[in-house]
Chain A
Amino acid sequence: MKSISTFKHNSLKVRRLCGAGYWFDSKKNNNSPDPTPFKEKFKQMLYNSSTNTLTFKGETIFNTIWGNISLRENLFPRANYPNLNDRQYQSASRLDFGTLISDTSSNIINTFYNFIKVK
């Protein structure tokens, strides 16, 4: 899956994650429009479920998001982390990033994977 570098590259400029919409070919999933298998693949690349930690690629993506102030503020608004200094804020956001990517189900709380679309 070469999408991680594309995703990383796109993440440099977008201001919201839905701006990084990434389309997958449904032929790779028996012509099904269901994005869940693609989300699961993304999750496996980014998150180690047995240790509940970010993988190296997950760390890379987190650092890329962190370097994009607009995207950072969209996913981890500073005001949501009361009274944490910059280092604690980054640690807490990394923890939350793990929480976000460990859940591929799309609901109101977790829309992280909504950039994955199938056509």
Chain B
Amino acid sequence: MFKSAGIKKGIEEFKIITDKLFYKKNENHYHLYADKLIVDRENYGFFSFDDYFGLNHKDSTDIINLVSGSKTTIPTTFFGMGYYDNNFITSKNSIREGAGLYSSNYLICQLFPFKELYELPHRYYGSGDRFKNQYIQIQNERKYIKSLSLLTGKYEWETNLENFGEIRKILGVVENKLWVSLYRAGNEKNETRLLALDIESGKVIFELDHQYPISDWFIELLEEDNSLLSIYSGIGTQALDSPLVEIDAITGKVLRSQRIESLYNQNLKIGFWKVLENKIYFTANQDYLSGTHIGVLDYNTLELLWVTKVENQKGGFKDFQVNHNNIYVLDQGNQLHIFEKTEKI
């Protein structure tokens, strides 16, 4: 069970980092708070990776070791993306070529101690997701997926996925499989595609059968379990399913595909969700388009363990996070609703 532990107002954004709440207030400055303390007075962004916490400033980044508390300042922007094996990708001389289209030079930097290692030989568009020394990029109006070698600066492969739809999300790599979700418009818009590409060659090596009702967006790779989980519901005032599909990310085998029947009695339709310690925490809507409830399901049995209506909310929910003791939900009125665990559920 959980109980309300209050509402924080004027919250622009928040993140849970090592179980601790960090939030930015919607004020005329850029103060970042942890609990009630200001931890940064001119914050341009905050993030975490491995055992570190990062604070962006205008042209520099503070990296704080969460174990020792030691702080290192590096003279470039880094926000946790593109990090692997003590080095990261940054870019310089970015030129805005058009709406949402930047070209830049890529630079590989060592993080500790900070050092510029080498620059890749060309100018490149956008950025990407890093897997070891491959940089996976979505390009050409989300039709192509490409792999750039960060060792040579050359593209190793590119694959046109236009026939499958518009590339929506890169979900991650498990063994040799690069998992990608795609969206299809028009008559086949309910046929979201889930593909696995061979990370070495870019060839499509697996396509999930279209009969499974998966989401292009509310699908995640659960790395501890090596599985992909999709839960989503439609938008509507009537009762709708929140179908759950779980897929083995190593083999592509569908582990379960079922309705969450425990939600039917209260006509709950799932929006955001998070998996933590064998539970699925979720937001849900009943009669309205926007979420009004939060709750907890047993991950294995899908039994509804707890649910409540969020009181005094303004607008729909725009972010949802959980840690071991709390549920946090941010509404469109910049109110952060906090719930704390009262007993084991």
Q: Tell me the A residues contacting B by CB distance below 8 Å.
A: 9-10, 12-16, 18, 64, 67-70, 74, 76-89, 92-93, 96, 99-100, 108-110
List the one stretch of B33-41, B90-98, B198-206 in contact with chain A. Answer: B90-98
B64-123 CB contacts (< 8 Å) to partner A: 76-77, 79, 81, 90-92, 94, 96, 98-102, 104
Chain A residues contacting B183 (CB-CB under 8 Å) are: 16
Q: Do residues A68 and B100 form an inter-chain contact, with CB atoms below 8 A?
A: no
CB of B316 within 8 A of CB of A83, answer no
Do A86 and B216 have beta carbons less than 8 Å apart?
no
Answer yes or no: B175 CB below 8 A from chain A CBs.
no
On whether the beta carbons of B289 and A9 are closer than 8 Å, the reply is yes
Judge whether A12 and B100 touch: CB under 8 Å: no
> CB-CB < 8 A to B76: which residues of A?
83
Shortest distance in angstroms between A92's beta carbon and chain B's nearest beta carbon?
7
Give 1 or 0 for each of B195-223: 1 = CB within 8 Å of chain A CB.
Answer: 00000000000000000000011000000
B21 within 8 A of A: no
Output the nearest chain B residue to A19 by Cβ-Cβ distance. B235
Residues of chain A lying within 8 A (CB to CB) of residue B235: 13-14
Contact assessment for A99 and B99 in the assembled complex, using a CB-CB cutoff below 8 Å = yes
Pick from B100, B168, B289: contact of A80, CB under 8 Å: B100
For the complex with contacts A83-B127, A87-B30, 14 further pairs of A-B residues with Cβ separation under 8 Å are: A9-B289, A15-B216, A78-B127, A79-B137, A80-B101, A82-B91, A82-B127, A85-B45, A85-B56, A86-B46, A86-B56, A87-B56, A92-B96, A96-B100
Task: Tell me, yes or no, whether B318 is within 8 Å of chain A by CB.
Answer: yes
Q: Is the interface of A mostly helix, strand, loop or mixed?
A: helix
B: number of interface residues (CB 8 Å): 44
How far apart sit A83 and B59, CA to CA, in the bound complex (Å)?
10
Are B79's CB and A86's CB within 8 A? Answer: yes
The answer to whether residues A12 and B94 also contact, given A79-B126, A81-B102 and a CB cut-off of 8 A, is: no
Q: What 7 A-B pairs are tightest by C-beta distance, nearest first?
A: A86-B45, A85-B56, A12-B316, A83-B91, A67-B318, A82-B127, A85-B44
> Cα distance A70–B183 when bound, in Å?
13
13 sampled A-B residue pairs with Cβ under 8 A: A12-B289, A12-B290, A13-B271, A13-B316, A64-B332, A67-B332, A82-B127, A83-B77, A83-B92, A85-B61, A86-B46, A100-B99, A109-B99
Question: Cβ of A76: which chain B residues have Cβ within 8 Å of it?
Answer: 100
- B67 CB to nearest A CB, Å: 25
Q: Is B79 a contact partner of A85 (Cβ separation < 8 A)?
A: yes
Q: Which residues of B sit under 8 angstroms from A110, Cβ to Cβ? A: 99
Chain A CB within 8 A of B277 CB: no
- Say if the beta carbon of B319 comes within 8 Å of chain A: yes
CB pair B127–A79 under 8 Å, yes or no, is: yes
CA distance A78 to B82 in the complex (A): 13
Query: Contacts of B91 on A, CB cut-off 8 Å?
Result: 82-83
Given A15-B217, A67-B318, A70-B217: A83 touches B30 (CB 8 Å cut-off)? no
Docked CA distance A91–B216 (Å): 27
Question: Is B289 a contact partner of A13 (Cβ separation < 8 A)?
Answer: yes
**A87–B30 Cα gap in the complex (Å)?**
10
Docked-complex contact A83 and B94, CB < 8 angstroms: yes
Give chain B nearest CB distance to A26 CB in angstroms. 22
In the docked arrangement, what's the CA distance between A109 and B142, Å? 12
Tell me whether B100 and A81 are in contact (CB under 8 A).
yes
Question: Residue among A67, A76, A77, A93 with the most chain B CB within 10 A?
Answer: A67
Instruction: Give every chain A residue within 8 A of B45 (Cβ-Cβ).
Output: 85-87, 89
Nearest B residue to A72 via CB reads B318
Residues on the A chain within 8 Å of B271, using CB: 13
B138 touches A77 (CB 8 A): yes
Which of A9, A86, A92: most chain B CB closer than 10 A?
A86
Residue of B30, B137, B332 ringed by the most chain A CB atoms within 10 A: B332
Given known contacts A67-B332, A76-B100, A85-B56, is B127 in contact with A18 (CB within 8 Å)?
no
Pairwise interchain contact A12-B332, C-beta atoms closer than 8 A: yes
Give the CA-CA distance A83 to B96 in the complex, in Å: 12
A89, B58: Cα distance in complex, Å: 12
Q: In this complex, what residue of A is CB-closest to B316?
A: A12
The CA-CA distance from A79 to B319 in the complex, in Å, is: 20
Query: Within residues 118 to 157 of chain B, which ones have a CB less than 8 A from any CB in chain A?
Result: 126-129, 137-138, 141
Contact A69 B319 (CB under 8 A): yes
Partner of B104, one of A16, A74, A83: A83
